[in-house]
Amino acid sequence: MIEDKDHMPAGQTPANDMGDAAGEFPDEAAAAMTPEERVAALETELADTKDRLLRALAETENTRRRAQREREDTRQYAISNFARDLLSSVDNLRRALESVPEGEIADPRTRSLLDGVAATERELLAALERHGVKRIDPKGERFDHNFHQAIFEAERPGAAPGTVIEVLQPGYVLHDRLLRPAMVGVAKAGSPPGDAA
């Protein structure tokens, strides 16, 4: 038999609503508990709810910190691809300046042209540095595999083994991240005196 709510006599509820009404009253197990047991159960439930709330707050704080860190990284390193693309232009300006030995420049027009190229290189390097890009020119420093790439090793009198003796191409960092390693030659240890054949 199908019951219709609209045609029920006053005071009666449909059978399927009876379960809902019964859910509003405490069950028999809760009714059988002593007041001390009910307080203990409520304290346990309160502690569990408090623990879940603290975990949710900690997770929210961690998410906020992670998002802030990602925002900072994005702001700081967003130009890395653009800066990396400009490095070949900086290298070409340096090559142009080094292509003509200083003593061979007699023509004032050539001198003026090279001065303009040097000014362009300085301005470009200054602009890169304003945005956190710094040049690595490690000649005379200890070789560091984090920032240098060894191209060759050679014996060099007076140079300590593992020292950069020649910079073939300077490297660059953006803040603290490597954009391009410096390509270098490194001094190696000389052969011991007893090895001479």
Sketch the domain layout of the chain as residue ranges.
28-76, 80-190
Cα–chain-centroid distance for residue 193?
49
Confirm if 185 and 168 have CB atoms less than 8 A apart: yes
Confirm if 147 and 171 have CB atoms less than 8 A apart: yes
pLDDT in tens, the chain (197 residues): 455 555 555 555 554 444 444 444 455 666 678 888 899 999 999 999 999 999 999 999 999 999 999 998 888 888 888 999 999 999 999 999 888 887 777 888 888 988 999 999 999 999 999 999 999 999 989 999 999 999 999 988 888 899 999 999 999 999 889 999 999 999 987 654 444 43
SS3 content of the chain, % helix, strand, coil (to 5): 55, 20, 25
Q: What fold does the segment set 80-190 form as a domain?
A: Nucleotide Exchange Factor Grpe; Chain A, domain 2 (2.30.22)
Q: Which residues is 172 bridged to in the sheet?
A: 135, 180
Q: pTM for the full model?
A: 0.62
Q: What is the pLDDT of residue 123?
A: 95
Confirm if 105 and 197 have CB atoms less than 8 A apart: no
Q: What is the pLDDT of residue 7?
A: 53
What is the CA angle 138-144-147, rounded to 5?
Answer: 70
Q: What is the pLDDT of residue 45?
A: 94
Q: What is the pLDDT of residue 14?
A: 52
Q: What is the pLDDT of residue 73?
A: 85
Q: What is the pLDDT of residue 132?
A: 92
- Token pair recorded at residue 151: 């191209």
Q: What is the pLDDT of residue 6?
A: 53
CA dihedral (55, 59, 61, 62) in degrees, to 10, reads: 130
**Residue-wise burial string across 84-95, b where 16 or more C-beta atoms lie within 10 A, e elsewhere:** eebbeebeebbe
Other beta carbons within 10 angstroms of residue 173's beta carbon come to 19
